[in-house]
């Protein structure tokens, strides 16, 4: 399991939630794995209570199945849950991209441009960093629209979708992730709401093309 330092603003519960979530998304904790409160608490250096709370929070999104007296089982990759999570992101983020055409400040645009340039730099040589930048790109748009509570809700539900995004970076050749983000940025920069919506819809539709490749390479992780 990859364990990063706790930030000053994180509670023990939030820290446990972030570490567990990130390791599930990054496939460090594999689908179908059993994990226990004491095991995780010992690894991250906290008591069982915040880990228990994190387990309960993650179980709401059905990424963890709580097993009495046994801990939790990490969900297999479930196509139905992936498509539901993608639907939520598509609905919210197309609306946000349109809103950002009016709401984004010059600072927000600068932040998006820096992010996209970093994506270009890390493309094809550091998938973990690229995934982080991808998440930050979308978070900038939520922040520009003053919708960070929506971001929290979507990020919890999106854990199913995020796992296959990670696998897509590992397995799909000629990824369009950076060019898609550049199209979203340019649409927001030009205040073109129709283009912003179309760019997000195209970005979200990539999954349909990637799924067959993911199924072939990672079939052992996919729910029958």
Which of 161, 163, 166 has the alpha carbon at shortest distance from 204? 161
| CATH number where 217 lies | 1.20.120.530
Using CA atoms, how far apart are residues 162 and 85, in angstroms rounded to an integer?
A: 9
Residue 154 belongs to domain spanning = 79-221
pLDDT of the chain, 224 residues: tens digit per residue = 899 999 999 999 999 999 999 999 999 999 999 999 999 999 999 999 999 999 999 999 999 998 887 789 999 999 999 999 999 999 999 999 999 999 999 999 999 999 999 999 988 788 888 889 999 999 999 999 999 999 988 988 889 988 888 888 877 666 788 999 999 999 999 999 999 999 999 998 888 778 888 888 888 999 87
Structural domain contains residue 185:
yes
Using CA atoms, how far apart are residues 67 and 150, in angstroms rounded to an integer?
A: 30
Residues 146 and 50 reside in one and the same domain: no
CB burial of residue 203 (10 Å; 0-12, 13-18, 19+): buried
Specify the pLDDT at position 173: 65
> Number of structural domains, the chain?
2
Specify the pLDDT at position 148: 94
Measured CA angle at 79 (ends 132, 21), to 5 deg: 35
Residues 49 and 94 reside in one and the same domain: no
Residues 86 and 60 reside in one and the same domain: no
Residues 99 and 203 reside in one and the same domain: yes
Residues 62 and 167 reside in one and the same domain: no
Structural domain contains residue 53:
yes
Using CA atoms, how far apart are residues 188 and 93, in angstroms rounded to an integer?
A: 12
Residues 200 and 132 reside in one and the same domain: yes
Rounding to the nearest 10 degrees, give the CA dihedral for residues 170, 176, 177, 182: 160
Residues 151 and 179 reside in one and the same domain: yes
Q: Where does a domain end: 53, 74, 95? A: 74
Residues 55 and 149 reside in one and the same domain: no
Using CA atoms, how far apart are residues 53 and 14, in angstroms rounded to an integer?
A: 9
Structural domain contains residue 106:
yes
Rounding to the nearest 10 degrees, give the CA dihedral for residues 3, 213, 165, 183: 140
Specify the pLDDT at position 215: 86
Which of 218, 169, 170, 171 has the alpha carbon at shortest distance from 180? 169
DSSP-derived 3-state class of residue 150:
helix
Specify the pLDDT at position 157: 85
The contacts of residue 4 (CB under 8 Å, 6+ apart) are 19, 22
Residues 83 and 57 reside in one and the same domain: no
Residues 126 and 189 reside in one and the same domain: yes
Structural domain contains residue 211:
yes
Residues 141 and 197 reside in one and the same domain: yes
DSSP-derived 3-state class of residue 210:
helix
Using CA atoms, how far apart are residues 54 and 21, in angstroms rounded to an integer?
A: 9
Alpha helices in 32-176 (DSSP H): 37-44, 48-59, 79-103, 106-122, 127-144, 148-157, 159-171
Structural domain contains residue 7:
no
The contacts of residue 63 (CB under 8 Å, 6+ apart) are 21, 24, 74, 75, 159, 160
The contacts of residue 148 (CB under 8 Å, 6+ apart) are 139, 142
Gyration radius of the chain over CA positions: 18
């Amino acid at each position: 399991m990859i364990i990063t330092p706790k930030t000053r603003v994180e509670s023990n519960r939030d820290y446990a939630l972030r570490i567990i979530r990130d390791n599930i998304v990054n496939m460090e904790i594999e689908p179908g794995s059993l994990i226990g409160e004491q095991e995780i608490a010992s690894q991250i250096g906290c008591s069982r209570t915040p880990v228990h709370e994190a387990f309960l929070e993650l179980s709401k999104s059905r990424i963890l199945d709580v097993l009495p007296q046994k801990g939790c089982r990490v969900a297999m990759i479930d196509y139905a849950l992936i498509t539901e999570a993608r639907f939520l992101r598509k609905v919210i983020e197309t609306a946000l991209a349109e809103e950002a055409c009016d709401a984004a400040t010059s600072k927000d645009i600068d932040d998006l441009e820096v992010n996209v340039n970093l994506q270009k730099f890390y493309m094809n040589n550091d998938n973990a960093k690229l995934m982080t930048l991808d998440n930050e790109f979308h978070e900038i748009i939520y922040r520009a629209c003053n919708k960070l509570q929506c971001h929290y809700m979507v990020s919890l539900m999106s854990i199913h979708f995020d796992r296959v995004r990670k696998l897509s970076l590992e397995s799909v050749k000629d990824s369009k992730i950076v060019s898609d983000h550049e199209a979203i940025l340019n649409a927001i920069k030009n205040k073109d709401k129709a283009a912003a919506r179309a760019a997000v819809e195209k970005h979200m539709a990539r999954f349909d093309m990637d799924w067959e490749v993911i199924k072939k390479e990672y079939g052992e992780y996919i729910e029958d």
